[in-house]
Amino acid sequence: MPLALYALTAGAFGIGVTEFVIMGLLLEVSADFGVTIAAAGLLISGYALGVVVGAPVLTVVTARWPCKTVLLALMAIFVVGNAACALAPSYGVLMAARVLTAFAHGTFFGVGSVVATGLVSEDRKASAIAVMFTGLTIATILGVPLGTWIGQHLGWRATFWAVALVGLVAFAIIALLVPKDERPADAGDWRADLAAILRLPVVLGLATTVLGYAGVFAVFTYIAPMLTRISGFSENAVSPILLVFGGGLVIGNLAGGRLADRSLVPTVFATLAALAAVLVLMAPGLRSPAAAVALTGLLGAAAFATVAPLQMWVLSKAKGAGQSLASSFNIAAFNLGNAVGAWAGGVVIDQGNLSAVPLWASLFPLVAIVIAWVAVSGERSAKRVTC
């Protein structure tokens, strides 16, 4: 893989840290601003919604810019947003700064996916996307625990200063390694591109992404109470177990990319089926501590094994028209899935049935498989008619 690809990985690492590190700082933020933990938790939802809105908007605004210029501008927004988080005088300002930072997220991964696939040969495109997303998995394993530790010992504001510094380093690496390219990030007319994205095959692909990832976050959002209240682990044991989850993310991410390069459509179905199977097994498996650890790792692997195939699938359905916009929409779809899944898991928990969350969550990837099958069947029927 070319060095320029790892520059994208560095940017993905910084973005991954700022997205998830707030999960470990909710107590500190809520105490500092005098808000409830639930209100502090809305900083996660606000970020996700910022990605959903910002991804298509910024992609359209920067469509005529060269790809490298877009990536550098997004990292600048990222640095400014995290600095604003560190300086926020109130909860409302912190929420606004989080949303601003989130605007860079979707477009970075959207345009970055297009740049990544352009750096490699045809048979390594999905693997290139997986390498870029490795930055996100490493952020989960290393960046988030380190950011949490910094926040607990030096104050939560220090964490955001540290993340802003990571953004500056990523900016410099992208400026140095990503080749200069005067080609616009998306040379087409955004109205025509949007019309292309609203075609049924692309919409079905985006729906598959939303539902697949809703299943992941319906469980992952509440993994800590599941491990402590169902599996019987102490609170101190949760962080080491989440390292197993992070290791699964890395393995699944790279494996999904390699498999998608060999055969894209079967990999989409296989990874979604594997995710559904892991979620079904978690329902009874969480009652055994050993099984709970193993299944947490498998959940990480199954979750990120779907990322590169789903991203590549949507890109392939866009068929060259508005690929940056389609890619950004799919990143927004992942985050919409995060929000839907967290909400759905909370609904089940409110009914007093924490142990049933994984089983209910498995319905999301199963429905995603049905939608993917409808999309594939529709394309086959269209080909027969054309012939």
Distance between CA atoms of 80 and 288, rounded to whole angstroms?
45
1-187 and 188-387: same fold?
yes
Q: Which residues, 6+ apart, have CB-to-CB distance to 65 below 8 Å?
A: 73, 184, 185
DSSP 34: T
139-143 long-range CB contacts below 8 Å, 24 or more apart?
A: 139/12, 139/13, 139/14, 139/15, 139/16, 139/17, 139/19, 139/20, 140/16, 140/20, 140/245, 140/246, 140/249, 141/243, 141/246, 141/247, 141/249, 141/250, 143/13, 143/16, 143/17, 143/21
CATH superfamily of 1-187: MFS general substrate transporter like domains (1.20.1250.20)
pLDDT for res 1: 65
Mean pLDDT by 10 residues, the chain (387 residues): 78 84 76 78 79 80 81 91 93 91 82 77 75 77 77 88 90 84 57 71 84 86 82 80 82 84 87 94 93 92 85 72 69 82 81 88 94 81 56
Distance CA 45, CA 180 (A): 35
- Quote the DSSP letter at residue 182: -
Q: How many residues does the chain have?
A: 387
pLDDT value, residue 289: 93
Return the domain boundaries, the chain: 1-187, 188-387
Q: Would you state the structure tokens that stand for residue 145, as one six-digit string? A: 């625990």
Q: How far apart are CA 229 and CA 235, in angstroms?
A: 10
- What's residue 335's pLDDT? 80
Name the architecture of domain 188-387: Up-down Bundle (1.20)
CA distance 207 to 150: 38
Query: pTM of the predicted model, to two decimals?
Result: 0.74
